[in-house]
Amino acid sequence: MGNLTGSFVRQYFEVESRLIDALSTAPYIHQFIHGDPLSGRITLYLIILGGFALIQEIWVSIEMTLLQKETYDELSVGRIDEGIKLHRMIQSDDYHAKEYKDEKSGIIIEEFEDMDKFFSKPVHVSDVFVNGQILVNGESVLDKPLRYHIEFSPEDFEDEKRQDFGCSLHVLRLKLYHLFKDSSLFREYNGAKEFTISRNVRIFNKIGEVLPTNIDEVQLCFLKIETGDTITCEFIID
Protein backbone atom coordinates (compact mmCIF):
# COMPACT_ATOMS: atom_id res chain seq x y z
CA MET A 1 0.00 0.00 0.00
CA GLY A 2 2.86 2.32 0.89
CA ASN A 3 4.63 1.66 -2.43
CA LEU A 4 1.40 2.40 -4.34
CA THR A 5 0.92 5.68 -2.48
CA GLY A 6 4.53 6.68 -3.02
CA SER A 7 4.26 5.92 -6.74
CA PHE A 8 1.12 8.06 -7.07
CA VAL A 9 2.78 10.99 -5.26
CA ARG A 10 5.84 10.80 -7.51
CA GLN A 11 3.66 10.76 -10.63
CA TYR A 12 1.67 13.73 -9.34
CA PHE A 13 4.78 15.83 -8.72
CA GLU A 14 6.18 14.89 -12.13
CA VAL A 15 2.98 16.09 -13.82
CA GLU A 16 2.91 19.22 -11.65
CA SER A 17 6.53 19.99 -12.47
CA ARG A 18 5.88 19.70 -16.22
CA LEU A 19 2.83 21.97 -15.96
CA ILE A 20 4.76 24.60 -13.97
CA ASP A 21 7.61 24.45 -16.54
CA ALA A 22 5.06 25.06 -19.29
CA LEU A 23 3.50 27.97 -17.38
CA SER A 24 6.92 29.54 -16.79
CA THR A 25 7.27 30.08 -20.56
CA ALA A 26 3.67 30.99 -21.26
CA PRO A 27 3.00 34.64 -22.28
CA TYR A 28 1.82 36.87 -19.42
CA ILE A 29 1.64 33.98 -16.92
CA HIS A 30 5.44 33.57 -16.66
CA GLN A 31 5.79 36.91 -14.85
CA PHE A 32 3.93 35.48 -11.83
CA ILE A 33 6.35 32.55 -11.42
CA HIS A 34 9.88 34.06 -11.57
CA GLY A 35 11.47 30.62 -11.44
CA ASP A 36 10.16 30.05 -7.93
CA PRO A 37 8.53 26.60 -7.42
CA LEU A 38 6.17 27.94 -4.73
CA SER A 39 4.96 30.79 -6.98
CA GLY A 40 4.55 28.30 -9.80
CA ARG A 41 2.51 25.97 -7.59
CA ILE A 42 0.24 28.82 -6.42
CA THR A 43 -0.25 30.05 -9.99
CA LEU A 44 -1.14 26.53 -11.17
CA TYR A 45 -3.58 26.14 -8.30
CA LEU A 46 -5.30 29.44 -9.13
CA ILE A 47 -5.55 28.51 -12.81
CA ILE A 48 -7.16 25.17 -11.92
CA LEU A 49 -9.64 26.88 -9.59
CA GLY A 50 -10.41 29.48 -12.26
CA GLY A 51 -10.97 26.72 -14.80
CA PHE A 52 -13.49 24.98 -12.54
CA ALA A 53 -15.24 28.30 -11.88
CA LEU A 54 -15.45 28.97 -15.63
CA ILE A 55 -16.90 25.53 -16.30
CA GLN A 56 -19.47 26.09 -13.55
CA GLU A 57 -20.48 29.46 -15.00
CA ILE A 58 -20.88 27.94 -18.46
CA TRP A 59 -23.02 25.13 -17.02
CA VAL A 60 -25.23 27.58 -15.11
CA SER A 61 -25.67 29.67 -18.26
CA ILE A 62 -26.67 26.58 -20.26
CA GLU A 63 -29.08 25.50 -17.53
CA MET A 64 -30.59 28.98 -17.38
CA THR A 65 -31.06 29.06 -21.14
CA LEU A 66 -32.75 25.65 -21.19
CA LEU A 67 -35.09 26.55 -18.33
CA GLN A 68 -36.11 29.82 -19.97
CA LYS A 69 -36.61 28.08 -23.31
CA GLU A 70 -38.84 25.51 -21.64
CA THR A 71 -40.93 28.29 -20.11
CA TYR A 72 -41.31 30.20 -23.39
CA ASP A 73 -42.14 26.98 -25.25
CA GLU A 74 -44.88 26.31 -22.70
CA LEU A 75 -46.24 29.85 -23.03
CA SER A 76 -46.13 29.77 -26.83
CA VAL A 77 -48.57 26.86 -27.03
CA GLY A 78 -50.93 28.13 -24.32
CA ARG A 79 -54.26 29.68 -25.26
CA ILE A 80 -54.73 33.43 -24.99
CA ASP A 81 -57.94 33.45 -23.01
CA GLU A 82 -59.17 33.21 -19.44
CA GLY A 83 -57.03 30.12 -18.94
CA ILE A 84 -53.78 32.12 -19.04
CA LYS A 85 -54.62 33.41 -15.56
CA LEU A 86 -54.14 29.88 -14.24
CA HIS A 87 -50.50 29.64 -15.30
CA ARG A 88 -48.47 28.13 -12.45
CA MET A 89 -46.14 31.12 -12.15
CA ILE A 90 -48.99 33.59 -11.83
CA GLN A 91 -50.70 31.49 -9.20
CA SER A 92 -47.67 30.49 -7.13
CA ASP A 93 -45.56 32.64 -4.80
CA ASP A 94 -42.68 30.16 -5.09
CA TYR A 95 -41.32 32.05 -8.10
CA HIS A 96 -40.63 35.25 -6.16
CA ALA A 97 -38.43 36.49 -3.36
CA LYS A 98 -40.32 37.13 -0.13
CA GLU A 99 -39.69 39.40 2.83
CA TYR A 100 -40.90 38.82 6.36
CA LYS A 101 -40.13 40.17 9.81
CA ASP A 102 -38.57 37.85 12.34
CA GLU A 103 -40.71 38.23 15.47
CA LYS A 104 -37.88 37.53 17.90
CA SER A 105 -35.15 39.74 16.46
CA GLY A 106 -37.31 42.26 14.63
CA ILE A 107 -35.04 41.91 11.60
CA ILE A 108 -36.46 41.95 8.06
CA ILE A 109 -35.46 38.69 6.37
CA GLU A 110 -35.49 38.24 2.59
CA GLU A 111 -36.08 34.73 1.32
CA PHE A 112 -35.13 34.09 -2.30
CA GLU A 113 -36.75 31.59 -4.62
CA ASP A 114 -34.92 28.42 -5.72
CA MET A 115 -32.36 28.86 -8.50
CA ASP A 116 -34.32 26.75 -10.99
CA LYS A 117 -37.48 28.77 -10.38
CA PHE A 118 -35.57 32.05 -10.69
CA PHE A 119 -34.14 31.01 -14.06
CA SER A 120 -37.45 29.62 -15.36
CA LYS A 121 -39.28 32.95 -15.00
CA PRO A 122 -39.94 34.80 -18.28
CA VAL A 123 -38.08 38.09 -18.61
CA HIS A 124 -40.27 41.16 -18.17
CA VAL A 125 -40.99 43.24 -21.29
CA SER A 126 -39.13 46.57 -21.33
CA ASP A 127 -40.24 47.87 -24.74
CA VAL A 128 -42.28 46.95 -27.82
CA PHE A 129 -42.90 48.36 -31.30
CA VAL A 130 -46.53 48.73 -32.33
CA ASN A 131 -48.04 48.95 -35.80
CA GLY A 132 -51.31 50.83 -35.42
CA GLN A 133 -54.28 50.66 -37.76
CA ILE A 134 -57.41 52.84 -37.76
CA LEU A 135 -60.53 50.88 -38.63
CA VAL A 136 -63.61 52.92 -39.58
CA ASN A 137 -66.68 50.72 -39.94
CA GLY A 138 -64.38 47.73 -40.23
CA GLU A 139 -62.16 49.16 -43.00
CA SER A 140 -58.59 50.38 -42.63
CA VAL A 141 -58.20 54.03 -43.62
CA LEU A 142 -54.39 54.22 -43.55
CA ASP A 143 -52.01 53.45 -46.39
CA LYS A 144 -49.20 52.93 -43.87
CA PRO A 145 -49.65 51.85 -40.26
CA LEU A 146 -48.94 54.17 -37.37
CA ARG A 147 -45.61 53.32 -35.78
CA TYR A 148 -45.21 53.52 -32.01
CA HIS A 149 -42.29 52.62 -29.77
CA ILE A 150 -43.60 51.92 -26.27
CA GLU A 151 -41.12 51.79 -23.38
CA PHE A 152 -41.97 50.66 -19.87
CA SER A 153 -40.33 52.11 -16.78
CA PRO A 154 -40.40 50.68 -13.23
CA GLU A 155 -43.16 53.17 -12.42
CA ASP A 156 -45.40 51.31 -14.88
CA PHE A 157 -45.39 48.16 -12.76
CA GLU A 158 -44.60 49.38 -9.26
CA ASP A 159 -48.18 48.58 -8.20
CA GLU A 160 -48.05 45.01 -9.50
CA LYS A 161 -48.17 42.28 -6.88
CA ARG A 162 -45.32 40.49 -8.67
CA GLN A 163 -43.08 43.18 -10.09
CA ASP A 164 -40.58 40.61 -11.44
CA PHE A 165 -42.90 40.05 -14.41
CA GLY A 166 -43.15 43.70 -15.44
CA CYS A 167 -46.23 45.60 -16.53
CA SER A 168 -49.65 44.27 -17.45
CA LEU A 169 -51.59 44.33 -20.69
CA HIS A 170 -53.76 47.11 -19.27
CA VAL A 171 -50.75 49.45 -19.07
CA LEU A 172 -49.97 48.89 -22.75
CA ARG A 173 -53.61 49.34 -23.74
CA LEU A 174 -53.81 52.58 -21.75
CA LYS A 175 -50.64 53.99 -23.32
CA LEU A 176 -51.90 53.25 -26.84
CA TYR A 177 -55.31 54.70 -26.03
CA HIS A 178 -53.83 58.04 -24.99
CA LEU A 179 -51.32 58.15 -27.85
CA PHE A 180 -54.11 57.82 -30.39
CA LYS A 181 -56.74 59.90 -28.61
CA ASP A 182 -54.32 62.84 -28.28
CA SER A 183 -53.48 62.76 -32.00
CA SER A 184 -54.92 64.74 -34.90
CA LEU A 185 -55.96 61.46 -36.57
CA PHE A 186 -58.37 60.77 -33.72
CA ARG A 187 -60.02 64.16 -34.19
CA GLU A 188 -60.13 63.63 -37.97
CA TYR A 189 -61.76 60.19 -37.98
CA ASN A 190 -63.63 59.86 -34.69
CA GLY A 191 -65.67 63.03 -34.50
CA ALA A 192 -67.95 62.97 -31.47
CA LYS A 193 -68.31 59.18 -31.22
CA GLU A 194 -67.70 57.37 -27.96
CA PHE A 195 -64.18 55.92 -27.78
CA THR A 196 -63.20 53.71 -24.83
CA ILE A 197 -60.14 51.72 -23.82
CA SER A 198 -61.96 48.43 -23.45
CA ARG A 199 -64.10 48.55 -26.60
CA ASN A 200 -62.07 50.50 -29.14
CA VAL A 201 -58.43 49.49 -28.57
CA ARG A 202 -57.75 45.97 -29.85
CA ILE A 203 -54.24 44.53 -29.35
CA PHE A 204 -52.64 41.50 -31.00
CA ASN A 205 -49.46 39.75 -29.86
CA LYS A 206 -46.50 39.02 -32.12
CA ILE A 207 -48.15 35.95 -33.68
CA GLY A 208 -51.43 37.72 -34.38
CA GLU A 209 -53.57 36.46 -31.49
CA VAL A 210 -56.03 39.01 -30.14
CA LEU A 211 -55.53 39.90 -26.47
CA PRO A 212 -58.99 40.39 -24.93
CA THR A 213 -59.68 42.85 -22.13
CA ASN A 214 -60.61 40.09 -19.67
CA ILE A 215 -56.89 39.32 -19.30
CA ASP A 216 -55.77 42.94 -18.96
CA GLU A 217 -54.34 42.27 -15.51
CA VAL A 218 -51.98 39.58 -16.91
CA GLN A 219 -48.41 40.75 -17.48
CA LEU A 220 -47.10 41.01 -21.02
CA CYS A 221 -44.37 38.39 -20.65
CA PHE A 222 -47.09 35.71 -20.33
CA LEU A 223 -48.88 36.81 -23.51
CA LYS A 224 -46.31 35.75 -26.13
CA ILE A 225 -44.69 39.19 -26.16
CA GLU A 226 -40.97 39.74 -25.60
CA THR A 227 -38.81 42.84 -25.42
CA GLY A 228 -38.33 44.40 -28.85
CA ASP A 229 -41.22 42.53 -30.48
CA THR A 230 -43.42 44.19 -33.08
CA ILE A 231 -47.12 43.80 -32.32
CA THR A 232 -50.32 45.23 -33.80
CA CYS A 233 -53.05 47.50 -32.45
CA GLU A 234 -56.36 48.39 -34.07
CA PHE A 235 -58.19 51.59 -33.14
CA ILE A 236 -61.80 50.81 -33.90
CA ILE A 237 -64.18 53.60 -34.90
CA ASP A 238 -67.76 52.66 -35.76
The amino acid that residue 170 corresponds to is H
Q: Is 211 a residue whose pLDDT tops 90?
A: yes
Helix (H) or strand (E) segment spanning residue 165: none
Per-residue pLDDT of 95-108, as tens digits, reads 666 666 677 777 77
The domain segmentation of the chain, as residue ranges, is 2-66, 122-237
Q: Which among 128, 211, 125 has a CA at the least distance from the CA of 164?
A: 125
Q: Is 196 exposed, middle or buried, given 0-12, 13-18 or 19+ CB atoms closer than 10 A?
A: exposed
Strand 127-136 and strand 108-111: the pairing is unpaired
Q: Is 172 a residue whose pLDDT tops 90?
A: yes
Q: Is 232 a residue whose pLDDT tops 90?
A: yes
Per-residue pLDDT of 32-64, as tens digits, reads 666 667 777 777 777 788 888 888 888 888 877
The three-state secondary structure class of 147 is: strand
What is the C-alpha separation between 69 and 63, in angstroms, rounded? Answer: 10
Per-residue pLDDT of 154-165, as tens digits, reads 898 888 878 888
Q: Is 13 a residue whose pLDDT tops 70?
A: no
- Cβ count within 10 A of residue 118: 15
What does the pLDDT read at residue 19?
A: 73
> Which of 101-115, 121-135, 147-161, 169-183 bottoms out in mean pLDDT, i.e. has the lowest?
101-115
What does the pLDDT read at residue 59?
A: 85
What is the C-alpha separation between 200 and 13, in angstroms, rounded? Answer: 78
What is the C-alpha separation between 62 and 80, in angstroms, rounded? Answer: 29
On whether the CB atoms of residues 171 and 163 are closer than 8 A, the answer is no
CATH of domain 122-237: 3.10.20.90
Q: Which residues pair with residue 134 across a beta bridge?
A: 235
> Which of 20-34, 69-83, 115-129, 194-208 bottoms out in mean pLDDT, i.e. has the lowest?
20-34
